[in-house]
């Protein structure tokens, strides 16, 4: 117990890195003494027996989750299981999640995955996983609960804004393989290029640019609709590459972190891949991270009209850092800033034209009022 407690003290000393002689340092050591006292009271007086190691894990995770919704601690067991699952031995649901006020929140259901097909939406709060209450669980514990053998089913209990009663969804786990790009020609005269970008993974830019170049060879299109709705983001390099394709010059995004290596600016190279044709970008509450970089940069440069609803507001970069005990931490190491200098974090990108989802709304269907509005703009 003493070793674990001393380890926790070291974490606090590292995080706050303060002078022992200063008033701040004195307050810090008072808090450390208080923490020790609380642990002792729990040990002696709490109604049930507790595992002190679990209490320490929760304390460490509490420190990390107090920083932002995306930082978290993984015990050695959890860290090992997460690595095993990432090798494809387990199935998932196809949702990107975060924490908000201690509750698991859906950032975005990924297109054509079990979660989206079941009807889960961006902004939903997951309150139960099967019969397990989620509140009080860490983000990584919730992720682990949702993963399992391919073909097995899971019941999610959801709280949704505007719904008085909780909603229940039965979702079957699958291996999540996302094809990043879908493209089509739309419009009455078949002269509008529609490209749905589902994620920013390793090959997204190649797939995306290949589709656009194919349409550009035919040279019959008025412009393009780029659909980033429910795109949870992905790799920064992919966001830069795809954004660069539409810009002739100027800043795309900057990152700022504590380390010099995490503080950088990225600029577009000369050459607009669609030669200035009009572009409309569709976003919603499930458009996050790399999607917000793309939409925000094109908006700041007045290169595209942004249509739909406000994006999620995930403007930070996380890194997985192994620990000596075999566990790890997911830690925010830098933040994104748009060309205007504005941060995306917790604010997101606001649309130029606000179009909310209507009743019976479904992306890509005849009831997709956001896409229909974008098509009308080209035809007017």
> Can you read off the two tokens belonging to residue 135?
């509140």
Of residues 75, 300, 311, 368, which has the active-site annotation?
300
Name the band, by pLDDT with cuts 50, 70 and 90, for residue 23: low
**pLDDT at residue 284 is higher than 90:** yes
How high is the pLDDT of residue 176?
78
How high is the pLDDT of residue 84?
54
Mean pLDDT within 220-226 = 94
Radius of gyration of the chain (CA): 23
How high is the pLDDT of residue 91?
67
Catalytic residue list contains 137: no
How high is the pLDDT of residue 112?
82
Catalytic residue list contains 314: yes
Name the band, by pLDDT with cuts 50, 70 and 90, for residue 75: confident
pLDDT in tens, 241-265: 999 999 999 999 999 998 898 899 9
How high is the pLDDT of residue 373?
95
Give the number of other CB atoms < 10 A from CB of residue 28. 20
Identify the CATH class of 89-172: mainly beta
Mean pLDDT within 48-59 = 83
How high is the pLDDT of residue 92?
82
Contact 76, 327 (CB under 8 A): yes
**pLDDT at residue 335 is higher than 80:** yes
How high is the pLDDT of residue 6?
46
> Can you read off the two tokens belonging to residue 103?
């509750």
Of residues 81, 108, 204, 289, which has the active-site annotation?
289
Mean pLDDT within 300-321 = 93
pTM of the predicted protein model: 0.77
* Alpha-carbon separation of residue 333 from 50, 89, 239, 260, 328 (angstroms): 34, 29, 18, 11, 15
Name the band, by pLDDT with cuts 50, 70 and 90, for residue 83: low
Per-residue burial over 218-248, b = 16 or more CB atoms within 10 Å of its CB, e = otherwise: eeebebbbbbbbbbbbbbbebbbbbbbbbbe
**pLDDT at residue 90 is higher than 60:** no
**Regarding predicted confidence, which is higher, 49 or 168?**
168
**pLDDT at residue 113 is higher than 80:** yes
Residue 162, strand partner residues: none
How high is the pLDDT of residue 202?
84
Name the band, by pLDDT with cuts 50, 70 and 90, for residue 18: very low
Domain residue ranges in the chain:
2-50, 89-172, 181-316+333-379
Catalytic residue list contains 289: yes
CATH 3.40.50.720 fits 181-316+333-379, yes or no: no
Mean pLDDT estimate for the chain:
86
Task: Return the minimum-mean-pLDDT range out of 32-46, 87-101, 154-168, 172-186.
Answer: 87-101
How high is the pLDDT of residue 214?
92
For residue 369, the surrounding DSSP H or E stretch is: helix 369-379
Mean pLDDT within 259-272 = 93
Of residues 137, 314, 334, 368, which has the active-site annotation?
314
């Amino acid at each position: 117990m003493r070793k674990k407690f001393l380890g926790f003290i070291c974490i606090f000393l590292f995080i706050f890195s303060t002078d022992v002689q200063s008033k701040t340092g004195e307050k810090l050591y008072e808090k450390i003494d208080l923490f020790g006292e609380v642990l002792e009271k729990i040990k002696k007086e709490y109604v049930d027996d507790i595992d002190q190691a679990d209490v320490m894990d929760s304390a460490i995770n509490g420190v990390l989750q107090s920083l932002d919704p995306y930082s978290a601690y993984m015990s050695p067991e959890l860290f090992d299981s997460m690595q095993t699952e990432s090798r494809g031995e387990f199935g998932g649901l196809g949702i990107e999640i975060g924490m908000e006020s201690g509750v698991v929140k859906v950032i975005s259901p990924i297109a054509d995955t079990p979660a989206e097909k079941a009807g889960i939406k961006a902004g939903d709060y997951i309150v139960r996983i099967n019969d397990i209450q989620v509140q009080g669980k860490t983000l990584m514990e919730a992720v682990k609960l949702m993963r399992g053998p391919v073909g097995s089913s899971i019941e999610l209990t959801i709280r949704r804004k505007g719904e008085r009663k909780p909603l229940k969804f039965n979702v079957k786990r699958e291996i999540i393989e996302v094809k990043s790009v879908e493209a089509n020609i739309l419009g009455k005269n078949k002269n509008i290029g529609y490209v749905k970008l589902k994620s920013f993974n390793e090959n997204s830019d190649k797939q995306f640019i290949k589709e656009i170049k194919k349409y550009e060879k035919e040279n019959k299109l008025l412009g393009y609709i780029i659909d980033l709705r429910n795109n949870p983001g992905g790799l920064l390099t992919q966001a830069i590459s795809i954004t660069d394709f539409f810009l002739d010059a100027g800043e795309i995004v900057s990152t700022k972190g504590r380390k010099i290596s995490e503080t950088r600016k990225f600029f577009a190279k000369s050459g607009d891949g669609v030669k200035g044709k009009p572009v409309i970008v569709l976003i919603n509450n499930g458009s996050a991270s790399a999607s917000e970089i793309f939409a925000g940069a094109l908006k700041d440069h007045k290169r595209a009209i942004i249509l739909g609803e406000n994006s999620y507001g995930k403007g930070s970069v996380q890194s997985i850092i192994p620990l000596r005990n075999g566990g790890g931490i997911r830690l925010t190491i830098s933040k994104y800033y748009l060309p205007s200098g504005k941060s995306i974090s917790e604010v997101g990108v606001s649309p130029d034209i606000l179009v909310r989802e209507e009743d019976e709304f479904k992306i890509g269907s005849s009831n997709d009022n956001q896409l229909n509005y974008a098509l009308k703009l080209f035809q007017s």
